[in-house]
């Protein structure tokens, strides 16, 4: 009997191991698939940047560039002032980040902590703006800025940055959800000590909101860095172009210089990768911690 | 909370705010210095080359929106052109400041500013039909300065520079799509090289023979979109000659034949997949990169692409768009209309630039400064073309001079693009292999009503009876 029980236990144990192995294998396969989905285009970008033009579309595909053309990077930098465009884009990113952090945090705090008539309706209205495609507001927004004379201010940067100072529905939602996870007892203790609402926001809530603030920083950076349409509409000075406008200058109507575009894109990706490298633990933590309390 | 504490340890509130604020301010300061408006690169550095006795006009700076392209040239070539014009600023009272835009975003930007009527450039190419109503009518200026419009190739001028009674631009450059064929691929299969009069059926047969799908080598490419020359070659039309009626044209027997031929072409397997084609084609022309890699027998490319194919080392010949027996040969030929948006506040100064650039001195400068890559719309200048010894240029002149142009029909109706857009889905469906030959007629029938509605609405908007 004992032998049978032990055999059954062994069988159950091996079944458990089999199940675990299956799960692990599935996860590994999915991970490999994800790596391939991301890795193949990235690999193509790298090799294309280093290839001569003709082998780019050869069949069967030429995987390793021969000869290796590192000069495509210098050619790209000669064809367009990529460093200047990068600096311009960094300025836009920095100003947008400051604007988003300032506006979204205070609006989110109001929705999370303050009680006022119509709060939920206003929040619903705010969230509903997420459903409006940005292309739909492009022309009315341009007309608005033109009417109030802001289009050409600071080489067209002002209309690009100004909306950041008026919040963003997604980030407000993100921060509100996070703030709601912070115990109200902390606010109440501060109020007993005589803190005003603004002091509670600044001294109690904000120091605890670093994870969502980092998420806002990183996502705003990535969105601004990769934005094409809005800078295209507002910026008219070539010297003030952003990096995406610059890269598109390499794409002519009848001639696409794939290797230079890929070399430029590779250089343009570097800041995003570096930023993600240094902030990934905050991003994961920031997003994971949102939504614990609704 | 423990996670929060960890993060708090890693970065204090103050240090984070300092970091963000400080870097923002520093970058803003740097960029304001770096991104301050530079003086126009083409500004004249020497004294104007006009007699000192002529009183100088007050100078107006005009904004020219342009793209770098095979049509007008690289940024450096265009800056040289502008410098040439700006030398005359004391006489013309105008200085040009170019805004170089990415080709991909040019249409979007123009559509936005023309739609709002604000922030428009003073000079631009007015190439999209929907922009025509927003362009300034130049007839008064043409009459005042006695500009001879007969100096331009008539077909190009009439099809692209006129909008109803108005003249909305003057032409710069001429171009045409031709069929480039890979001589080595023809020779490898022992095929006879195409000659004038080459037909659709010959094209299809040769394309099939050159195709080797196992090596991803294709004989031909599909037309880049609906209502290119290949459709008109069948005698097909999407609407009547007066532009009023769709029934009997979009679903007429010749249109059905044209669409059925496209089904045959797809089903022959001689063309690249739609995915490959969509990625690799360039605006209005075929997939030059496939052709340059030796994987395409025929590609519809243009005269501005000769040097790119030469650089790739591909030996190629030229032939017109394939013809259909009993019908005219059609070509996708174009010019760019240089015009002045009606909302420009500097119309007179803008006109000075348009007038100069489209006149003989401007055109001659462009032609000579582009080493033969630019062909002016003035036939009188063609004998002086720097590339005149190149037989390919002769062929190009023959094409634009003797074949019918797509724009002869399409250019008559400002609503042509909008009215024919519903058909693009059908064309895409054919290319994706979803539409069979037997379904073509019924699919075309379905398009008649929505297209007629668009035609009626657009004609009403334009005040046309």
The domain at B177-333+405-461 falls in which architecture?
3-Layer(aba) Sandwich (3.40)
In B, minimum Cα distance to A140 occurs at B116
Say if A63 falls within a structural domain: no
- Asked if this assembly's ipTM is beyond 0.85, the reply is no
- Do B31 and A88 lie within an 8 Å CB cutoff? yes
Q: Which residues in chain B are contacts of A88 at CB distance < 8 A?
A: 31, 34-35
Please indicate, yes or no, whether residues A107 and A177 belong to a single structural domain of this protein: yes
Domain presence at residue A263? yes
What CATH number corresponds to the domain at position A100? 1.10.3720.10
Q: What is the reported pLDDT for B55?
A: 62
Comparing CA positions, the residue from B291, B272, B274, B298 lying closest to residue B213 is B272
Contact B49, B88 (CB under 8 A): yes
Of A214, A232, A238, the CB nearest to B109: A232
Write out pLDDT tens, residues B218-228. 999 999 899 99
Residue A66 lies in a domain: no
Same domain, A273 and A140: yes
In a domain, A293, yes or no: no
Residues of chain B with pLDDT under 70: 1-56, 283-284
Nearest by CB to A98, which of B20, B308, B313? B20
What is the residue extent of each domain of chain B?
60-175+334-401, 177-333+405-461
Token pair listed for A133: 């495609």
Kindly determine whether residue A229 and residue B105, on different chains, have CB atoms separated by under 8 Å.
Answer: yes
Residues of A in contact with B32 (CB under 8 A): 154
Subunit contact A254:B70, Cβ cutoff 8 A? yes
Contacts of B109 in chain A (CB under 8 A): 232-233
**Shortest alpha-carbon distance between residue B410 and chain A (Å):** 21
Query: Chain A residue closest to B28 (CA)?
Result: A91
Are A101 and A220 in a shared domain? yes
Cβ separation B312–A54 shorter than 8 A: yes
Q: To 10 degrees, what angle do helices B13-34 and A82-113 make?
A: 140
Residue A165: the pLDDT is 96
Query: Which domain does A11 fall in, by range?
Result: 2-57
Contact list in B for residue A211 (CB cut-off 8 A) is: 3-4, 7
- Do B60-175+334-401 and B177-333+405-461 show the same overall fold? yes
Nearest residue, CB atoms, B280 vs list A57, A91, A98: A57
Which CA distances in Å does B299 have to B134, B276, B317, B334?
35, 14, 11, 18
Q: What is the pLDDT of residue A255?
A: 81
CB count, 10 Å around CB of A119?
13
Residue A164 lies in a domain: yes
- 3-class secondary-structure state, position A241: coil
Which residue from B minimizes the CA distance to A218?
A: B20
Query: Domain for residue A69, yes or no?
Result: no
> Tokens in use for A176?
């509100």
Q: Please indicate, yes or no, whether residues A38 and A139 belong to a single structural domain of this protein.
A: no
CA atoms of A78 and B436, how far apart (whole Å): 50
User: By the 8 A CB rule, do A89 and A225 touch?
Assistant: yes
Our count of domains for chain A comes to 2
* One domain for residues A86 and A208: yes
Residues of A in contact with B313 (CB under 8 A): 54
Q: Is A221 domain-assigned?
A: yes
Q: Are A254 and B305 within 8 A, CB to CB?
A: yes
Between A59, A91, A151, which is nearest B27 by CB? A91
Chain B closest-CA separation from residue A35 CA (Å): 23
Low-confidence stretches of chain A (pLDDT beneath 50) = 292-294
* Span B386-404, pLDDT tens digits: 988 899 999 999 999 999 9
Nearest to B67 among A151, A232, A253 (CB): A253
Q: CATH homologous superfamily of domain B60-175+334-401?
A: Periplasmic binding protein-like II (3.40.190.10)
The reported pTM is 0.82
Q: What pLDDT score was predicted for residue A157?
A: 94
Whether residue A178 lies inside any domain: the answer is yes
Q: Chain B interface, mutation test: which of A61, A253, A292, most B Cβ atoms within 10 Å? A: A253
* A to B CB pairs, distance under 8 Å: 167
Query: Quick check: B125 and B90 in contact, CB under 8 A?
Result: no
Q: Indicate the SS3 state at residue B68.
A: coil
- The secondary element (H helix, E strand) that includes residue B319 is strand B316-319
What was the pLDDT predicted at A6? 66
Residues 6+ apart with CB under 8 A from B31: A87, A88, A90, A91
Q: Which of A91, A99, A221, A279 should we substitute to test contact with B (largest number of B Cβ atoms within 10 Å)?
A: A91
């Amino acid at each position: 009997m004992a032998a049978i029980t032990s055999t059954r236990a062994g069988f159950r144990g091996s079944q458990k191991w089999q199940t675990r192995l299956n799960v692990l294998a599935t996860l590994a396969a999915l991970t490999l698939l994800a790596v391939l989905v991301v890795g193949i285009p990235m690999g193509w970008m790298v090799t294309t940047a280093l290839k001569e033009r003709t082998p780019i579309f050869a069949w069967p595909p030429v995987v390793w560039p021969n000869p290796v053309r590192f000069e495509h990077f210098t050619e790209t930098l000669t064809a367009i002032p990529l460093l200047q465009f990068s600096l311009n884009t960094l300025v836009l990113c920095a100003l947008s980040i400051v604007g988003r952090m300032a506006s979204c945090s205070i609006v989110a705090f109001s929705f999370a902590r303050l009680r006022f008539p119509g709060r939920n309706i206003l929040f619903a209205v705010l969230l509903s703006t997420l459903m409006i495609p940005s292309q739909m507001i492009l022309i009315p927004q341009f007309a608005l800025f033109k009417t109030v004379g802001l289009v050409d201010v600071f080489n067209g940067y002002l209309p690009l940055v100004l909306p950041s100072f008026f919040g963003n529905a997604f980030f407000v939602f993100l921060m509100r959800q996070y703030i709601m996870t912070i115990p109200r007892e902390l606010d109440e203790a501060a109020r007993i000590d005589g803190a005003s609402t603004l002091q509670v926001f600044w001294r109690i809530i904000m120091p605890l909101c670093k994870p969502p603030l980092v998420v806002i920083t990183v996502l705003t950076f990535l969105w601004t860095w990769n934005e094409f349409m809005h800078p295209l509409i507002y910026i008219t000075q070539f010297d003030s172009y952003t990096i995406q406008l610059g890269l598109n200058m390499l794409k002519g109507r009848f001639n696409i210089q794939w290797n230079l575009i890929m070399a430029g894109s590779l250089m343009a990706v570097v800041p995003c990768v570096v930023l993600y490298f240094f902030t990934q633990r905050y991003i994961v933590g920031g997003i994971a911690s949102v939504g614990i309390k609704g | 909370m423990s996670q929060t504490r960890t993060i708090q340890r890693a970065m204090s509130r103050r240090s984070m705010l300092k970091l963000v604020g400080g870097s923002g301010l520093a970058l803003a300061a740097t960029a304001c210095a770096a991104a301050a408006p530079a003086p126009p690169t083409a500004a004249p550095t020497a004294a104007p080359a006009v007699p000192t006795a002529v009183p100088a006009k007050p100078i107006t700076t005009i904004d020219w929106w342009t793209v770098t392209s095979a049509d007008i040239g690289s940024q450096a070539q265009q800056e040289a052109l502008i410098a040439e014009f700006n030398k005359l600023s004391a006489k013309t009272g105008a200085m040009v400041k170019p805004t170089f835009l990415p080709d991909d975003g040019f249409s979007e930007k123009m559509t936005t500013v023309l739609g709002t009527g604000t922030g428009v450039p003073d000079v631009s190419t007015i190439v999209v039909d929907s922009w025509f109503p927003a362009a300034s009518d130049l007839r008064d200026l043409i009459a005042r300065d006695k500009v001879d419009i007969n100096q331009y190739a008539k077909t190009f001028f009439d099809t692209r520079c006129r909008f109803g009674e108005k003249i909305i631009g003057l032409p710069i450059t001429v171009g045409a799509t031709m069929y480039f064929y890979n001589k080595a691929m023809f020779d490898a299969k022992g095929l006879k090289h195409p000659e004038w009069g080459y037909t659709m059926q010959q094209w299809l047969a040769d394309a099939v023979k050159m195709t080797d799908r196992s090596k991803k080598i294709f004989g031909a490419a599909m037309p880049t979109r609906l209502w290119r020359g290949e459709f008109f070659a069948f005698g097909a039309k999407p609407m009547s000659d007066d532009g009023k009626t769709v029934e009997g044209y979009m679903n007429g027997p010749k249109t059905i034949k044209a669409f059925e031929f496209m089904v045959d072409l797809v089903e022959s397997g001689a063309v690249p997949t739609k995915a490959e084609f969509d990625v690799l084609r360039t605006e209005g022309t075929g997939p030059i990169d496939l052709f340059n890699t030796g994987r395409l027998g025929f590609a519809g490319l243009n005269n501005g692409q000769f040097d790119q194919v030469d650089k790739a080392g591909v030996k190629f010949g030229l032939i017109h768009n394939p013809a259909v027996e009993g019908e005219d040969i059609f070509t996708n030929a174009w010019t760019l209309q240089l015009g002045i948006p009606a909302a420009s506040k500097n119309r007179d100064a803008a006109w000075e630039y348009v007038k100069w650039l489209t006149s003989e001195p401007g055109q001659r400068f462009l032609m000579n400064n582009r080493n033969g890559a630019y062909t002016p719309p003035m036939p009188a200048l063609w004998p002086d073309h720097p590339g005149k010894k190149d037989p390919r240029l002769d062929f190009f002149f023959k094409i634009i001079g003797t074949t019918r142009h797509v724009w002869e029909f399409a250019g008559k109706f400002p609503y042509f693009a909008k009215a024919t857009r519903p058909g693009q889905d059908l064309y895409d469906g054919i290319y994706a292999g979803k539409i069979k030959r037997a379904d073509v007629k019924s699919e075309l029938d379905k398009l008649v009503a929505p297209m007629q509605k668009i035609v009626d609405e657009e004609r009403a908007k334009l005040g046309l009876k």
